[in-house]
Amino acid sequence: MERQRTIKKELSIKGVGLHTENRVSLQFQPAPVDSGINFMRTDLAGRPKVSVDINNLLPLDRSPRRTSIGFGNVEIHTIEHLIAALVGLSIDNLHILIDSNEVAGLDGSAKEFTEKILEVGIEEQVKEKKYFSLREPISIEEEGSLIVALPYPNLRVSYTLSYNHPFLKTQYLDLMITPEEFKEKIAFARTFCLEEEVSDLLALGLGKGANYENTLVVGEKGVIKNKLRFEDEFIRHKILDLIGDLGLLGFSVNAHLIALKSGHPENIKLIKKIYQQKQRYESGGVRASYIPSEGEELDTTMITKILPHRYPFLFVDRIISLEKRKRAIGVKNVSVNEWFFTGHFPGQPVMPGVLIVECMAQVGGVLMLSLEENRGKLAYFLAADNVKFRKTVLPGDRLIIQVEAERIKSKTGLVHGKVFVEEKIVAEADLMFSLAEV
């Protein structure tokens, strides 16, 4: 499992903002685990901190053609090239002191950020990296642009660039995004615009700090007053921007991103959907923060260190037997005061069958998350097969929930559950789970 990373020592970079032309100094400082990436505006009273977080994203109509974060009157513009360097080099935690409202444009790429970070060195930290592996496909389509995100064990980008332009031919590039690939194939790619766009951009107050050296201006016959670093430098920069926008998530993503003519607007919509998917799956999952010992009995307090369920949705009162990789036995005392009895056959209360299945699922979750290799993982309840209800469960019954492992692998688990009342079986089912890194 990869560990979180920061830089080994401080470094400084100075430059001019591409859009504002404001002079700016940036100072990078190592940060402790779980800090994330944070800017501090040292030129403002109180040195306000702005986290690189999707919740701090500024609307694109306030910062067109770039990615910006902030709140209130505190803004930091054009962060994507810097954040791409951090994502590309797998930097998780960093403090960035900045004395203006826009990150330095430098040469229009992530080159200097990447080189300076590698020069001071990268330090591995004691805690595991935060990951989310995409679980369901996501698609974004708008005005001829498209991004599709598919589940994949690593981060992979397949990009197609297509312009109706005599020099900017259709280009395609497929890359696995690793620190080595980023350093060699992406970091040096510079931002670009079409010659016909220049006057409109300047009229909008954009590109004040741009010139022919830090921005590739593309005319009908080629790049004006500059030379390409790569024959397909344009598409590489599009991938650089996409990687930088992914950094707003605050965690690493495993997914295959397939993009056609996408830019910041589509990238932002994509990361919002990825973030929503992560929130949805985490709210429906169980995560192990405590690993019980073999044979340990668990009371409610101990169970809540393994399962995130709380009243009224924690149904397991105790785990009375735990044999790792084999079986677990839990207990549920069904009280007449259970909240669900007020609406389920009132006057003749019966425990809903779906909640009996949930009891089995919770004991199954404890069984799978009791393994050391599953520490910090999420267990998602995916399916229930061969469900049978043989006897009603009434107030006053004591459920004995027995779950046996059929198969527990690194990413999936299958268990068979049985529920007994007074040694008579009342329900059983085969339950399938998915085990995923956070």
Tokens representing residue 423 in the block: 């040694």
Q: Is 341 helix (H, G, I), strand (E, B) or coil?
A: helix
pLDDT of residue 193: 86
pLDDT of residue 376: 67
pLDDT of residue 285: 53
Q: Which of 7-11, 95-99, 163-167, 348-352 has the lowest mean pLDDT?
A: 163-167
pLDDT of residue 290: 63
Domain 286-436, CATH among 3.10.129.10, 3.30.465.10, 3.40.640.10, 3.20.20.10:
3.10.129.10
pLDDT of residue 438: 56
Please pick, among 19, 77, 95, 264, the residue that the annotation labels catalytic: 264
Domain 3-283, CATH homologous superfamily name and number: lpxc deacetylase, domain 2 (3.30.1700.10)
Q: What percent of the chain has a predicted confidence (pLDDT) above 90?
A: 66
pLDDT in tens, 110-146: 999 999 999 999 999 999 898 889 988 999 998 889 9
Tokens representing residue 80 in the block: 């994507």
Q: Mind giving me the DSSP string for 129-198?
A: PPEEE--S-EEEEETTEEEEEEE-SSEEEEEEE--SSSSS--EEEEEE--HHHIIIIITTPPPEEEGGGH
**Domain limits, the chain:** 3-283, 286-436
- Rounded to whole angstroms, the Cα distance separating 419 from 390 reads 10
pLDDT of residue 230: 93
Q: Which residues contact 301 (CB under 8 A, 6 or more apart)?
A: none
* pLDDT of 242 over the 90 cut: yes
Instruction: Map tokens 């642009």 to a residue.
Output: 145
Tokens representing residue 216 in the block: 């590739």
pLDDT of residue 378: 73
- Rounded to whole angstroms, the Cα distance separating 242 from 157 reads 9
Fold agreement between 3-283 and 286-436: no
Q: Mind giving me the DSSP string for 249-300?
A: GSSEEEEEEEEES--HHHHHHHHHHHHHHHHHHHHTEEE-S--PPTT--B-H
pLDDT of residue 289: 55
- Rounded to whole angstroms, the Cα distance separating 401 from 149 reads 39
Residues 265, 65: contact at Cβ < 8 Å? no
pLDDT of residue 111: 97
pLDDT in tens, 361-395: 999 988 888 887 777 677 778 889 999 999 999 99
Q: Is 244 helix (H, G, I), strand (E, B) or coil?
A: helix
Between the alpha carbon of residue 118 and those of residues 35, 89, 123, 136, 179, the distances in Å are: 20, 9, 11, 35, 11
Question: 166: exposed, middle or buried (C-beta count within 10 Å: 0-12, 13-18, 19+)?
Answer: exposed
Cα-atom radius of gyration of the chain, to the nearest Å?
27
- Beginning with the edge strand found earlier in the chain, give each strand of the sheet holding 398-408 in spatial order: 285-287, 378-389, 424-436, 412-421, 398-408, 327-333, 318-323
What is the band of 405 on the pLDDT scale with cuts at 50, 70, 90? Answer: very high
Q: Which of 192, 214, 208, 236 is nearest to 107 (CA)?
A: 214
pLDDT of residue 437: 66
Q: Is the pTM of this model over 0.75?
A: no
Q: What is the mean pLDDT of residues 167-193?
A: 94
pLDDT of residue 192: 92
Residues 266, 138: contact at Cβ < 8 Å? no
**Average pLDDT for the chain:** 90
pLDDT of residue 11: 97
Q: Is 264 a catalytic residue?
A: yes
How far from the centroid of its chain's Cα atoms is residue 95's Cα? Answer: 20
